[in-house]
């Protein structure tokens, strides 16, 4: 009996078309069927978790997760089921722990040994660590703080001293005035450092609470470069240029950024360096297979000898959409089939 590729969706959410599916799901199902690989969509329902598990264990060669975590009320139960499916031999695209590892903002602090992330990038999991380190890192240079939760730039703050630090100080005093710009809409607020850090405690407390602290890269105004990856193949590049205003540093459409679509060949240096780092990235993030569909966002910087270099800003693989480029469904189908065939060779 030929086994199927199972696409997991969940009912509801703003990412659905009129037919109730994500607009990029059925094109992938159809592209697989055109190639002789059976596929179907199952909507995850926590009350039917055991039935779904039993069905996919028996009939599934692989699953493809197409659920945006923001639309999922029972994320832990869903991830537990995916882990169990991987354990019984269903190919995970991606494995749930890869989804967490690649998608979390603290991926940056885990990759400081690569040339993709500056080594003065910190993750704060406790308020104590934040209070201890942040005044010191702000003394070195302008910073960006990123919360782990949220999207569209919410809780991402560019933090700058209003007045230069007095000579010889290695730590910013808590009463120092700071200028804070939020990426969501590039609005500016002025705080004392101490009060702002107290405000930021909300990002560290609670489930998956955490803050990333990285240096601000002034060349973000030249744009953010997003690589759309199918496993280890770059297939698309989106160049996102922030709005042309003084404080703008956000590359979201909502904040007025301009998007341009390029080919990977147009960014050869970036692509070649990133691909050369992928084995190390995979190793540092738990050794899981690369996600099926994922993105990596980069910003331009200048290295010590004045050359352009690219700094990783974040990665995403939980449910990357390609609704504006539905023809990619055929390339995705080819990758899924290749992955199944590779696994068949590894485990005859």
Tens of pLDDT, residue by residue over 44-65, are: 999 999 999 999 999 999 999 9
Q: Give yes or no: residues 55 and 69 share one domain.
A: yes
* Degrees to nearest 5, angle at CA 44 with 69 and 205: 30
| Inter-residue contact 178 to 193 (CB < 8 Å) | yes
CA–CA dist 116, 281 (Å, integer): 10
Range of the domain at 43: 4-94+325-346
Q: Which two tokens mark 74?
A: 């029972």
Q: Do the Cβ atoms of 320 and 231 come closer than 8 Å? A: no
Q: How far apart are alpha carbons 220 and 255 in whole angstroms? A: 14
Q: Is the per-residue pLDDT at 202 higher than 80?
A: yes
CATH code, domain carrying 209: 3.90.70
DSSP 39: E
Helix (H) or strand (E) holding 180: strand 177-182
Radius of gyration of the chain (CA): 22
Output 332 or 250, whichever has higher pLDDT: 332
> Does residue 108 sit within a domain?
no
The CATH number of the domain holding residue 265 is: 3.30.470.20
Query: Same structural domain for residues 201 and 253?
Result: no
Neighbours of 347 (CB within 10 A): 8
Q: What is the pLDDT of residues 136-176, one digit of tens each?
A: 999 999 999 999 876 677 899 999 999 999 988 999 999 99
Model pLDDT for residues 245-282, shown as the tens digit of each residue: 555 454 554 545 678 888 999 999 999 999 999 999 99
Q: Pick from 216, 247, 271: which residue ends a domain? A: 216
Q: Are residues 204 and 252 in the same domain?
A: no
Look at strands 233-241 and 224-230 and give their pairing: antiparallel
Phi, psi of 346, deg, nearest 5: -70, -40
φ, ψ for residue 6, nearest 5 deg: -100, 125
pLDDT at site 188: 94
Note whether residue 99 is domain-resident.
no
How much is the average pLDDT of 18-22?
Answer: 91
Which residues does 230 contact at the CB level (< 8 Å), separation at least 6?
Answer: 292, 293, 328, 331, 332, 335
Residue 243: the pLDDT is 61
pLDDT single digits (tens) 282-315: 999 999 999 999 999 999 999 888 888 999 988 9
- Whether 110 maps to a domain, the answer reads no
Q: Are 86 and 292 in contact (CB under 8 A)?
A: no
Same-domain status, 205 and 230? no
Residue that finishes a domain, picked among 194, 216, 238: 216
Q: Is 73 left (phi over 0), alpha (psi -120 to 50) or beta?
A: alpha
Shared domain check, 224 and 211: no
211 φ, ψ (degrees, to nearest 5):
-125, 140
Q: Report pLDDT for 253.
A: 46
Q: What local confidence, expressed as pLDDT, does residue 255 receive?
A: 46
Q: What confidence score (pLDDT) does residue 252 get? A: 52
What is the rounded average pLDDT of the residues 194-218? Answer: 93
Domain total in the chain = 3
Question: Quick one: which of 150, 153, 199, 207 has its CA closest to 174?
Answer: 199
Which residue reads 């799901």 in tokens? 25
* Residues 92-146: tens digit of each pLDDT: 999 999 998 888 878 899 999 999 999 999 999 999 999 999 999 999 999 999 9
pLDDT of 74 strictly over 80: yes
CA distance 289 to 211: 27
Residue 103 lies in a domain: no
Mean pLDDT of 190-213: 94
At 201, is the secondary structure helix, strand, or coil? Answer: helix
């Amino acid at each position: 009996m030929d086994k199927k590729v199972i696409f997991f969706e969940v009912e509801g959410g703003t990412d659905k078309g009129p037919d109730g599916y994500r607009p990029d799901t059925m094109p992938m199902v159809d592209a697989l069927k055109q190639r002789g690989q059976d596929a179907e969509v199952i909507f995850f329902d926590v009350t039917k978790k055991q039935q779904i598990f039993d069905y996919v264990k028996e009939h599934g060669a692989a699953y493809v997760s197409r659920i945006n975590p923001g639309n999922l009320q029972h994320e832990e139960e869903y991830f537990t089921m995916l882990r169990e499916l991987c354990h019984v031999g269903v190919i995970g695209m991606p494995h749930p722990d890869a989804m967490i590892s690649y998608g979390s903002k603290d991926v940056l602090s885990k990759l400081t040994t690569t040339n993709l992330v500056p080594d003065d990038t910190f993750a704060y999991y406790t308020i104590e660590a934040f209070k201890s380190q942040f005044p010191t890192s702000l003394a070195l240079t302008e910073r960006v703080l990123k919360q782990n939760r949220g999207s569209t730039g919410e809780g991402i703050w560019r933090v700058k001293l209003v007045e230069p630090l007095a000579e010889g100080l290695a730590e910013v005093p808590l009463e120092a005035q700071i200028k804070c710009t939020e990426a969501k809409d590039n609005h500016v607020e002025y705080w004392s450092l101490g009060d702002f850090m107290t405000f930021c405690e909300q990002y560290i407390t609670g489930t998956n609470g955490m803050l990333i602290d990285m240096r601000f890269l002034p060349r973000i105004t030249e744009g953010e470069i997003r690589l759309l990856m199918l496993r280890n193949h770059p297939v698309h590049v989106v160049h996102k240029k922030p709005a042309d205003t003084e404080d703008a540093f956000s590359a979201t459409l909502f904040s007025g950024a301009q998007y341009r679509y390029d080919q990977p060949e147009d960014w050869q240096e970036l692509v070649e360096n990133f691909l050369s780092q992928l084995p190390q990235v995979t190793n540092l993030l738990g050794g899981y297979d690369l996600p099926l569909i994922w993105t990596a966002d980069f910003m331009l910087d200048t290295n010590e000898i004045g050359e352009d270099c690219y700094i990783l800003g974040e990665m995403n693989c939980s449910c990357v959409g390609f609704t504006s480029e539905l023809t990619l469904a055929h390339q995705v189908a080819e990758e899924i089939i290749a992955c199944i065939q590779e696994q068949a060779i590894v485990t005859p």
